[in-house]
Amino acid sequence: MAQPAAMIWLALVWEGSDIAARLGGFVLITAMMTYHIIVVSHLFTHVPWFTSPRFNAAASLLNSMCIGQSVQAYHLTHVRNHHRYNNDPIGPDGTTRDTSSTYRDGRDGEHTPLLRYILSGAVDSFVNRGKEVLMITRLWRVGPEESQLLSLVSRRDARRTRELRQVQADRAAHVLSLAVFAVLSWQWTLFCYLPAFFLALTLVNVQNFYRHFGADPSERGADSVSYYGKLYNLLAFNDGYHQEHHLSPSTHWSQLPLVTERRRALLEAQPRITSPVPAMLGFLHRDRPMLHRSPGGRPVRR
């Protein structure tokens, strides 16, 4: 709730602000959007906050305004695709089933190069959000050309209808928020909000890359990277427990440390990566083992 208030305030004071204040506002909004995607909306997609469907629908609208995209669509692509295929390597068909896999554009069993992964993903997402804005002619309904998204929607009629309507409502809420920002200050929207949104998408991709970089996608207990620093996990609601999250995606954030104890036998059954730094700073983990490679140091073709 603080983020929309901050964005409205920054838009209102943009014209009277000096360069330092504008730069500070840009950093603030980038950080808030990044945190909202990585932590707040991520947790919401796995464990809704309310028992009331109406309250959860309202929360989805609010979160969609904050992260610049439909949270319901995020749920579909993240929970029903990423967590189903767990950052899988390229298969016999020449691609990955996980559309966000770090191997998707890699070669010879290796990860996609970092810059390509974070920038191409951010550009694709940014362009797709722009296309969604133009869907006003059909009131932001999910169209037949969005086959990938449609393939993830529930097959049960009532639930399918509810999910598609929520995507539509989320998109409408996002576009309405953009319209409000543009009315308050088109300069802030163009020169602060949109660049901050793109940078946030890039940082989210950095986070996802180092949550899986070097991990072994063939081992259920070693296909992700965890970070156990107390301060970060306090501020980020145990976001560092990523291997545990992959083992038990529906577990409430407060219970993730218990997953470590519960699944210790599996976690200790093979080598796995624990990082000395949060995933966002994964590039500092210089001596990270590359478990996806064979013992001889050559990439494993899967």
| pLDDT value of position 36 | 98
In a shared domain, residues 105 and 26: yes
Q: Degrees (nearest 5) of the Cα angle 282, 225, 97?
A: 105
| Predicted confidence (pLDDT) per residue in 210-233, tens digit | 999 999 999 999 999 999 999 999
Instruction: Quote the CA–CA distance of 145 and 70 in Å, as a whole number.
Output: 17
| pLDDT value of position 302 | 37
pLDDT at 155 over 50: yes
In a shared domain, residues 198 and 224: no
pLDDT at 3 over 80: yes
Instruction: Quote the CA–CA distance of 21 and 10 in Å, as a whole number.
Output: 9
In a shared domain, residues 273 and 188: no
Instruction: Quote the CA–CA distance of 237 and 44 in Å, as a whole number.
Output: 12
In a domain, 38, yes or no: yes
Q: Degrees (nearest 5) of the Cα angle 33, 35, 41?
A: 85
Residue where one domain finishes, among candidates 178, 194, 210: 210
In a shared domain, residues 198 and 229: no
In a shared domain, residues 48 and 145: yes
pTM of the predicted model as reported, rounded to 2 decimal places = 0.94
Residue where one domain finishes, among candidates 161, 195, 210: 210
Name the DSSP letter for residue 274: B
Residue 222 domain boundaries: 214-285
In a domain, 225, yes or no: yes
Q: 114-133 vs 194-210: helix axis angle to the nearest 10?
A: 140
| pLDDT value of position 300 | 46
In a shared domain, residues 84 and 111: yes
pLDDT at 19 over 90: yes
pLDDT at 299 over 60: no
Spatial CA neighbour of 215 closest among 84, 77, 88: 88
Residue where one domain finishes, among candidates 182, 210, 238: 210
pLDDT at 295 over 60: no
In a shared domain, residues 14 and 150: yes
In a domain, 103, yes or no: yes
| pLDDT value of position 201 | 98
The contacts of residue 274 (CB under 8 Å, 6+ apart) are 225, 226, 227, 228
Q: Which amino acid is at 238?
A: N
In a shared domain, residues 173 and 195: yes
β partners of residue 226: 274
Q: Model confidence at 294, in pLDDT bands (50, 70, 90)?
A: low
In a shared domain, residues 218 and 201: no
For the chain, the helix, strand and coil percentages under 3-state DSSP, each to the nearest 5 = 60, 0, 40
In a domain, 294, yes or no: no
In a shared domain, residues 260 and 137: no
In a domain, 293, yes or no: no
In a domain, 302, yes or no: no
Q: Model confidence at 71, in pLDDT bands (50, 70, 90)?
A: very high
In a shared domain, residues 27 and 164: yes
Number of domains in the chain: 2
In a shared domain, residues 50 and 198: yes
In a domain, 126, yes or no: yes
Cβ neighbour number for residue 29 with a 10 Å cutoff:
22
In a domain, 299, yes or no: no
pLDDT at 296 over 80: no
Mean local confidence (pLDDT), 180-208 = 98
Please check whether residue 117 is in contact with residue 102, taking contact to mean a CB–CB distance below 8 angstroms.
yes
